[in-house]
Amino acid sequence: MANERRAPATERVSIFIDGWNFARATYEGLGIRVDFKRLLATLAGDRMLVRALYYIAEWSDESYGAMSNLRRVRAADAPPPPPDPAESDRRRVQQLGFIRMLNRNGYQVVKRPVLAFADGSTKAAIGIDLALDMPALADRCDRMILVSGDGDFVPIVRAVAARGVRVQVVASQSPMAANSTPEHPRPFPARASDDLLDAADEFTELRDIAGLIELQEQRRPSRPFTPLEPQGGERSPEPAEA
């Protein structure tokens, strides 16, 4: 019918999170721990979520070995204590729990091994997977949200934008980290590239949504109140230990 009102089309969105960059920006830069359920709800909003991909750097025995060797070389004058044989297993179990948490809360996790460099820095080549996944999903999305400030993603953003997909970058351009002081200035880690923001259609500053995605620590239940002086003036007995 000519006068029939059509319901507005639901915007289809996919979310791509550079876990390495995001962890540095939030935990080290803003000083917050992230609630990943709230993060997904905040980014997706009332849109139709097609995919939420989380790219993570995975520590392996080879990665730990390479990093340990680098530390020994750099600390030749003061050799570090021998490595704990259980440390690798502990970290692996910890990361596995994190990955399972993401998988069970709406994310698809993409893993890449950590690479250790001669200067002591580490990185994972997640750009390879992201460069393949964003164009592959372009025909199914109206919007793509890239959670990263890494300038290496500029060509990818331009490529999917040229196919008619609106690209939104979520990152931070804060000049200083949250724990920075005048006495000990600390630049913001993983600060967003200007070139990346210029290539995107929209930019969301992480500081502006920090309160929406921060993990709310559960408060411990308070202990029942015990008066110090009971009626009659006698001193109350010491409370029993829980």
39-79: per-residue pLDDT in tens?
A: 999 999 999 999 999 999 887 666 555 555 555 555 555 55
Q: Does residue 238 form part of some domain? A: no
Q: Which residues contact 136 (CB under 8 A, 6 or more apart)?
A: none
Q: Does residue 137 form part of some domain? A: yes
Taking each helix axis as running N to C, give the angle between helix 154-161 and helix 127-137, from 0 to 180 degrees, rounded to the nearest 10: 10
H/E element holding 170?
strand 166-171
Q: Does residue 198 form part of some domain? A: yes
Q: Can you give the pLDDT of all 242 residues of the chain as single tens digits?
A: 444 444 445 899 999 999 989 999 999 999 999 999 999 999 999 999 999 999 998 876 665 555 555 555 555 555 555 556 576 677 778 888 999 999 999 999 999 877 766 665 666 678 889 999 999 999 999 999 999 999 999 999 999 999 999 999 999 999 999 998 999 999 999 999 999 999 999 999 999 999 999 998 765 554 554 443 333 444 333 434 33
Longest distance between any two alpha carbons in the chain, whole Å = 87
Q: Which residue has the tokens 């964003």?
A: 134
Q: Which residues contact 175 (CB under 8 A, 6 or more apart)?
A: 187, 188, 191
Range of the domain at 133: 12-58+105-213
Cα 113 from Cα 236, distance rounded (Å) = 61
Cα 236 from Cα 242, distance rounded (Å) = 17
Taking each helix axis as running N to C, give the angle between helix 36-44 and helix 206-213, from 0 to 180 degrees, rounded to the nearest 10: 120
CA 83 distance to own-chain centroid: 28
- For residue 199, the domain's CATH number is 3.40.50.1010
CB 13 within 8 A of CB 48: yes
Q: Does residue 157 form part of some domain? A: yes
Query: What ranges make up the beta strands (E) of 19-96?
Result: 48-58
138-160: per-residue pLDDT in tens?
A: 999 999 999 999 999 999 999 99
Q: Does residue 37 form part of some domain? A: yes
Cα 194 from Cα 81, distance rounded (Å) = 42
Q: Does residue 113 form part of some domain? A: yes
Q: Is the pTM of this model over 0.95?
A: no
H/E element holding 13?
strand 12-18
CA 203 distance to own-chain centroid: 17
- Both tokens of 106, joined, read 């709406």
Task: Output b/e per residue, 213-235; b: 16+ Cβ within 10 A.
Answer: bbeeeeeeeeeeeeeeeeeeeee
DSSP summary character for residue 29: I
Task: Output b/e per residue, 113-138; b: 16+ Cβ within 10 A.
Answer: ebebeeeeebebebbebbeebbeebb
Please tell me the total count of domains within the chain.
1
Q: Does residue 166 form part of some domain? A: yes
Q: Does residue 219 form part of some domain? A: no
